[in-house]
Amino acid sequence: MQQQKFMREAIRLSLENVQSGKGGPFGAVIVKDGEIIASGANEVTTSNDPTAHAEVVAIRRACQRLGSFQLAGCEIYCSCEPCPMCLGAIYWARPDKIYFANTKEDAAAINFDDAFIYQEIELPSAHRTLPTEQLLRDEAWVAFQAWKDSTQKMDY
């Protein structure tokens, strides 16, 4: 089965990442027309970039290769169920399908617990653990209005 082959590659990347000491146990591949067009492994600690999760790394590479900010016609294979950040990035990239191996509960069992973030997202901003305060909305709205009125924009 083709899907299993691609998932095994994502899993291989996750294990290789741990064994090399480069980062966490996460790998991802992006497939288009039955071919891997991009892959990524967790690079958070090696790049000092908290957004360098395997899925985000793979999305960046795939979009660059395709010359597009969207992944229509693609599938993403993740060695673990995507965290909230990665899930958001995947939705923005708009692939046709997501496959994952380990669950978010499996990740929590090895101290990659995203439950806190899922809980925080549900709260009104004023009730979140990280102090959050809105400022200068009227001034910021000018950019939104300019976008709304622009004839040069490319919708996404």
What span, in angstroms and rounded, lies between the C-alpha atoms of 89 and 68? 14
> Which of 9, 43, 55, 75 is the catalytic position?
55
What span, in angstroms and rounded, lies between the C-alpha atoms of 59 and 98? 12
Q: Is 133 part of the annotated catalytic residue set?
A: no
Output the CA angle 102-39-26, nearest 5 degrees.
30
Q: What are phi and psi of 97, to 5 degrees?
A: -160, 150
Helix (H) / strand (E) containing 39: strand 35-41
Q: What are phi and psi of 67, to 5 degrees?
A: 65, 35
List active site positions: 55
